[in-house]
Amino acid sequence: MKTRAAVAFGAGKPLEICEVDLEGPRQGEVLVEMKATGVCHTDAFTLSGDDPEGAFPTILGHEGAGVVLEVGEGVRSLQPGDHVIPLYTPECRECDYCLHPRTNLCQAIRETQGQGVMPDGTSRFSLDGKPLRHYMGCSTFANHSVLPAIALAKVRKDAPFDKICYIGCGVTTGIGAVAFTMGVEAGATVAVFGLGGIGLNVVQGARMVGASRIIGVDMNPAKEALGRQFGMTDFVNPRDVDDVVQHLIAMTGGGVDYSFECIGNVQVMRQALECAHKGWGQSCIIGVAGAGQEISTRPFQLVTGRSWRGTAFGGARGRTDVPKIVDWYMEGRINIDDLITHTMPLDDINRAFDLMHAGESIRSVIHY
Ligand code: NAD
Ligand code: DAO
Ligand code: ZN
Ligand code: ZN
């Protein structure tokens, strides 16, 4: 079939809207009509050329929601008409990783997904007879996409596509980091570095689990109001204090129980670790740093009881946890609507990247 897609032909180049060819689903695969997709920082990271796994030409996008149109041979978990959210972290429920209680990093299709192809090593997308790569196993910047069935979460049919697409990455990453990866408990103190599309979801996750104090740290003073709306109790602009680590330690009488880095800045990752309380404080890296960058601290920080951890997709097991997060949204337990600051048709997708780079959007959503 033919479908419309925003194609990334090379690093740093604007996306081009093209009519591309899409083959139907093979064994274990599913054809999805995408209804909406968010534009995430990670799409911009790959488009910039800084992503070591990034390869072109490709169809980016990994934060979608849509409807199943057709299932390939052997697919039993889904049927036409089901509403789904694509999962860049799949859940096969059979591999060593899925069977291990402490990780969500299913490895069933990891190698081929990283190469931008389907599990059989080929692409379903092509243009003028030449293959286009899939992206993160999702390629949600296409009106139709083919995905492995293990990379689709079935969700309730009354949830709006143009909101729940954000659960495909940003919402789940932020809330899951708090609830699944770190297991933040009621009454805990939390510091959130970076109040963007991820950090604000960490803030609302911390509020949801009953954190007693949620301190947001951002260089942009405009982030304070939105942070407070989502549950932040204190705001610190690092530009207004001499030493942000000492400031946070003084504010909290020794440091926070949990800190989260939601920027991708290795210096801030160090600050986040070092503002965690001696003896028990834990710090979680969410931000993705540029290729080749390294983190550092004095080992004594860990010797004296701080832990340094990290999370991908908030530790969520997608097929199991994503439908629950959709329920949380539909029950009004989490707010997604106020984080979607811009919506636009696929033709305007490059504007979504411009808004992100200018710091003017929290999340832009493309509707098909
Ligand atoms: P964003 O640009 O929307 O937000 C970053 C925020 O950090 C901005 O508000 C900015 O003002 C602030 N900031 C920048 N430098 C700062 C500094 N030195 N001190 C304090 N604040 C500072 O980004 P986002 O969409 O929220 O994404 C954050 C990171 O999370 C990115 O690196 C993204 O790739 C990553 N990410 C990780 C996962 C995962 O599974 N681990 C998933 C999605 C995104
Ligand atoms: O299993 O080795 C692996 C890789 C899993 C990739 C997880 C990526 C998470 C961070 C990237 C940002 C997501 C948009
Ligand atoms: Zn993302
Ligand atoms: Zn698995």
**203-224 residues labelled b (16+ CB within 10 A) or e (exposed):** bbbbbbbebebbbbbbeeeebb
- pTM of the shown model: 0.97
CA-proximal residue: ligand 1, atom 13 (nearest): 194
The yes-or-no answer on residue 275 being catalytic is no
Ligand lying nearest the CA atom of residue 89: 2
Q: Is residue 175 part of a domain?
A: no
Number of structural domains, the chain?
2
- Indicate whether residue 238 lines ligand 1 (CB < 6 A): yes
Q: Are residues 29 and 106 in the same domain?
A: yes
138: domain CATH number is 3.90.180.10
Q: Which value does ipTM take for this structure?
A: 0.98
pLDDT in tens, 27-83: 999 999 999 999 999 999 999 998 888 899 999 999 999 999 999 999 999 999 999
188 and 261 in a single domain? The answer is yes
- Is 89 a pocket residue for ligand 1 (Cβ < 6 Å)? no
**Domain boundary residue, one of 310, 338, 359:** 310
Catalytic residue among 3, 37, 42, 172: 42
Pick the residue whose CA is nearest to atom 9 on ligand 2. 312
> Closest ligand 2 atom to the C-alpha of 173?
13
CATH number at residue 218: 3.40.50.720
User: Is the domain of 110 the same as that of 139?
Assistant: yes
Q: Where are the beta strands (DSSP E) in the chain?
A: 2-7, 16-22, 29-39, 63-71, 83-86, 125-127, 130-131, 144-148, 152-155, 189-193, 213-217, 234-236, 258-261, 282-285, 307-310, 340-345, 363-367
| Residues 90, 203 within the same domain | no
Q: Is 104 in the pocket of ligand 2 (CB under 6 A)?
A: no
Residue that terminates a domain, selected from 310, 340, 358: 310
Residues 343 and 321 in one domain: yes
Q: Is residue 258 located within the same domain as residue 136? A: no
Domain boundary among 310, 338, 358: 310
Asked if residue 152 belongs to a domain, the reply is yes
Same-domain pairing of 38 and 161: yes
Ligand 2 centroid to residue 246 C-alpha, Å: 32
Same domain, 45 and 64: yes
Residue 60 included in any domain: yes
**Mean pLDDT calculated for residue range 100-105:** 98
pLDDT (tens digit, 9 = 90+) per residue, 210-243?
999 999 999 999 999 999 999 999 999 999 999 9
- C-alpha 40 – ligand 3 centre gap (Å): 5
Locate tokens 């983190």: which residue?
Answer: 295
Q: Is 312 exposed, middle or buried (0-12, 13-18, 19+ CB in 10 A)?
A: middle
Q: In which domain, by residue range, is 348 found?
A: 2-170+315-367
Q: Which of 93, 110, 213, 247 is catalytic?
A: 110
Expressed in percent and rounded to 5, the helix, strand and coil fractions of the chain are 30, 25, 45
Please state the rounded mean pLDDT for residues 158-178.
98
Kindly state whether residues 142 and 253 are assigned to the same domain.
Answer: no
Residue 12 has pLDDT above 90, yes or no: yes
